[in-house]
Structure 1
Amino acid sequence: MLRRPGGEIDQKRLLNVPGVVLLIAALNLLVFATIVVLPVRAANTLVNIASVTPRWFLAGAEANGGWLSMLSPLISHMFLHAGLMHIALNLLWLLAFGAPVARRMRAGDALKSFSAFSRASLFMTFYLLCGVAGALLFIYMHPKDLIPMVGASGAVSGLLGGLVRFAFNRSTLFGPEYAAISPLTSQSVIVWSFFIIAMNAGIGLFGGLLTGGAMIAWEAHVGGYLFGLLAYPFFEKLAISMR
């Protein structure tokens, strides 16, 4: 439980998720619901078009019917999920990691002013680029795969990377907003990064035992995390500069 200096519990702080994070969650739910209600053939066609398939991507723009068809799955795959448990876990971590990062970037109240809208847009850009980085590492690691990769995990992992750069310089996760950014060489960043990457590698090796053989794109998690870890300070500095 979180208490203010005076001792009272700041429930608003705990429950008030920035609107841009809720928007991302809502878009994921909308796409998931659409896939569920579509006829099976139409749903499968949409998933094939919008998911990341390494061999198709690496075939180039001409083989994919143009640059848009080739590149758009790098974004659209983040809004597709393989099942209810998949989307539930991703949305849970989206709220957990996204809320403090969005607040840190002052990305709340997007409709309040142009600068607030700009910061919310910047947060969305950071989120999407984390997902793109995750997809690109997955493609690099599986260049011949024809199995489509979907899910927001790479983007959400990028939010975790951003969180690691500042969360451990504060008394609590919900403490003072602008504690210093931790350098990449700090103990907290090194320890947490080692743990997160090792955990994901372990999931890649043994996760199939827990998922009935379903593949987990742990490379996308690591790619998104590393991008978020490295790029977050730039995005925060840019967000703060938006007056």
Structure 2
Amino acid sequence: MDSPSQPPPDHQVVVEEAPREPILTLPWPLTAYVALLALIHLRVLLPPELENWTIDVFGFIPKRYDSSLVNLQFEGGAGAKVWTFVTYSLLHANLTHLAFNVLWLLPFGSALARRFGALRFFVFLAVTAAAGALAHLVTHEHAVVPMIGASASVSGAMAAAIRFAFVRGSFLSFSRSDADTAAKVPALPLFRALRDRRIVGFLAVWFALNIIFGVGGIGVEGDSAGVAWEAHIGGFFAGLLLFTLFDPVPRVRSHDAADASSQDISDGI
């Protein structure tokens, strides 16, 4: 019986492993968005009167929509009633405010940018910003302090990302894949996601940290500044509920999601 042929002694078989991309390398849409926030923040170098004008024109001021104020005029005119639903999210009070929002956005925004692609990602950020502004308007209809900050969009990105973040192979699972693969695992059905104790626990920590550190869209007038919690909630629920409209990845069936979740927990033991 012939024995299996063997390669010559000087022949070496080399098996190359596919490169494993770091999970938090930034896709270009997120890099462009962060660069835009940083560029816009250079407005703090403007003379005080111009900086204040920028806040008045592009910040979100609920009093602007008060129809009972016949003689009160705001900078920006009628157009500001439209664009400030989004533009307020591109402004920040100071470098710390900007840094907190960017740091919160990096893991969730990176996954969403890879999953959605550039156009969907930018539209999603705009929609969640508008939802946060609407929530702030409903609850602070007579406020004259401008609201600024990207936290409504950050909250929306986080809410959307948790729909798939803990699924086996995704970026917060025990057995995650490379960045692109991790961002494109099938998402959990909404009610299944809200029953996952890891997701519930994560949300509890997130809300607690928000309370402690005061991350959020804030006013810019000294002692009157405060955290716009309603904007956070508006952006969060918009991201959670509208995720399906933006998501190009096919849905996972409920029992498949349960199997994946159970397997992921087993792998982590």
TM range (shorter): 0.7 to 0.9
Q: Which residue type is aligned with residue 195 of structure 1?
A: A
Residue aligned with 1:185, SS: helix
Cα drift, residue 121 of structure 1: 1.3
Q: Is 2:26 aligned against 1:24?
A: no
Question: For 1:90, which of 86, 94, 101 is the aligned residue?
Answer: 101
TM-score scaled by structure 1?
Answer: 0.76
Q: Which residue type is aligned with residue 27 of structure 1?
A: L
Question: For 1:180, which of 182, 186, 189 is the aligned residue?
Answer: 186
Cα drift, residue 172 of structure 1: 4.5
**Cα 1:167–1:197 shift into 2, 3 Å:** closer
Residue aligned with 1:72, SS: helix
Question: For 1:127, which of 120, 125, 146 is the aligned residue?
Answer: 125
Cα drift, residue 199 of structure 1: 3.5
Q: Is 2:74 aligned against 1:102?
A: no
Question: For 1:40, which of 40, 48, 51 is the aligned residue?
Answer: 48
Write the deviation string for residues 85-126 of structure 1: whole angstroms up to 9, x where unpaired.
000111112222100111122x2xxxxxxxxxxxx1121001
TM-score scaled by structure 2?
Answer: 0.69
Cα drift, residue 58 of structure 1: 3.7
Q: Is the 8 A contact 2:62 2:142 kept in 1?
A: yes
Question: For 2:60, which of 30, 48, 52 is the aligned residue?
Answer: 52
Residue number in structure 2 paired with 1:80: 91
Write the deviation string for residues 154-190 of structure 1: whole angstroms up to 9, x where unpaired.
0111100110111111244153443332222121387
Q: Is the 8 A contact 1:168 1:188 kept in 2?
A: no
Write the deviation string for residues 47-97 of structure 1: whole angstroms up to 9, x where unpaired.
11110011113449x966754221111111011101110001111122221
Q: How far apart, in 1, do the equivalents of 2:67 and 2:39 lie?
A: 31
Gapped runs of 5+ residues in structure 2? 1-15, 251-269
Please, what is the CA RMSD of the aligned residues?
A: 3.3
Larger Rg: 2
Cα drift, residue 133 of structure 1: 0.4
Q: How far apart, in 1, do the equivalents of 2:122 and 2:201 lie?
A: 24
Q: Is the 8 A contact 2:24 2:106 kept in 1?
A: no
Equivalences, count: 216
